[in-house]
Amino acid sequence: MGECVKDRFITVYRITREYGGHEEGGWWYNWHEAIETVHIPRRWSKKPNQHWNQIETLKGQMQRKYADEAWGNIYQANGGVQIDAYIEETYREFETTVTPHYE
C-alpha cells in the first residue's frame, strides 16, 4: 500500500494589528495577509526530517524577499507591518479571511 504524503506549503504573510472593538476596554487582533505561497516539493514532504535544511533555507529566502515591506512594530501605538513565513500543512493555513468577533 502506498505511503500517504501530506502536502506542505511555505507561505509569507504581511501581518498588521487591527482594532477589534471596544469590548473589555478594547481588543486587537493580528491580520495575516498571504503574499506568496509555494508548494514544498513532494520528495521533501515524504521525508521532511532529511530535507529540513532545504525547507528552512527556502522559508528564509522567501521571508527575505519581502523583508523591505516590514516597518515599525505592530504591537506599539504607531503600528507597522511584520513579515513572517510559515511552514504549513494546509494551503494558506494562517491567512485571516474574516474579522473575528469578540465573545
Q: Tell me the pLDDT tens digit for each residue of 63-91.
A: 999 999 999 999 998 999 999 999 999 99
Q: Name every residue whose Cβ is closer than 8 Å to that of residue 14 and which is 6 or more positions away in sequence.
A: 32, 33, 35, 66, 69, 81, 82, 83
Give the residue-averaged pLDDT of 20-35: 92
Q: Is residue 24 pLDDT above 70, yes or no?
A: yes
Nine cell digits for residue 59: 522559508
Which pLDDT band, with edges at 50, 70 and 90, does 102 fall under? confident
Give the residue-averaged pLDDT of 24-44: 90
Asked if 19 and 74 count as a contact pair (C-beta separation under 8 A), the reply is no
Tell me, what's the pLDDT at 1?
A: 45
Terminal Cα-to-Cα distance of the chain (whole angstroms): 46
What percentage of residues in the chain have a pLDDT greater than 70?
Answer: 92
